[in-house]
Amino acid sequence: MKMSIGQIGRQLLGFAVAGMALAAGGTAFAEMGQPAPWEYKLQEAATPVMENITWFHNFLSVLITVITLFVLALLVIVVMKFNAKANPVPSKTTHNTLIEVAWTLIPVLILVGIAVPSFRLLFLELDVPTPDITIKATGKQWYWSYAYPDNGKFEFDSLLDKDKAPRLLGVDNEMVVPVNKVVRIQTTGADVIHSFAVPAFGIKIDSVPGRLNETWFKATKTGMFYGQCSELCGKDHAFMPIAVRVVSDQEFATWVDGAKKKFATNPANSYASAGQVAQ
């Protein structure tokens, strides 16, 4: 069955509209701080660092698109204008000073335009400001342990809870931090290399045995935010989530008082005492 050009165009337009509707629908019911169905962009930013990462990502996407379309246009011009049929007598030009200067200078300016915000972003990520709170995150096979040396020196384990939503991201004990406070994360590995990553915060840093790495974030929104170990660390790598609950100062103080009592008798809140819920 043959279709006219108009019918084909209308069908393609329908596919495009349906695709946009699915994408919009997927993000419409998405919750902040976790993956969403049909997600085609970065998670919503919850820290200044992630806001800068998102801006830089969008800037590069536009730049790459413009360059790609420009190169495509040049290729189309070459194919249409300089084929043997349209141009039977080819030019014998060997040099063009203006073009040679342009194709050298323009890429250099583009790279400089990328480098400046890139270096600024790297500095923002790596220069840890004076922290309001420090948390030590230790990666273990296959769960995380969190210590709060500034708030009573208690420590607890955080394991996957299969009965909690979202699937494969819910945990029994969440990391809790206050909103609008600089949180310094110091991380290491107890056995193999892990990686502490929370997309909405714009942080991802390796947890290496025998080494203490650090990063930071300042959450500007309350709520739950999820991440995962981002290093292949063994058979249960996919079941090692990170859950961070951002609360008000008052709620954080209340939680600290409760955590001191809850983890006082068993500071490590060990894997064995937690019932091995990740298995």
pLDDT tens digits, residue range 250-270?
999 999 999 999 997 554 544
Q: What is the pTM of this model?
A: 0.82
Listed as ranges, residues in the chain with pLDDT below 70 are 1-30, 265-279
Beta bridge partners of 206: 195
Pair 52, 59: CB distance under 8 Å:
no
What residue type is assigned to position 204 of the chain?
K
pLDDT score recorded for residue 146? 98
Tokens representing 39? 């997600």
pLDDT score recorded for residue 30? 52
* pLDDT-above-90 percentage for the chain: 75
pLDDT score recorded for residue 90? 85
CB atoms within 10 A of CB 240: 27
- Dihedral (Cα; 93, 95, 100, 101), 10-degree rounding: -130
* Topology of the domain covering 133-262: Immunoglobulin-like (2.60.40)
In a 3-state reduction of DSSP, which class is residue 157? strand
pLDDT score recorded for residue 274? 39
pLDDT by residue (tens digit) across 151-181?
988 999 999 999 999 999 999 999 999 999 9
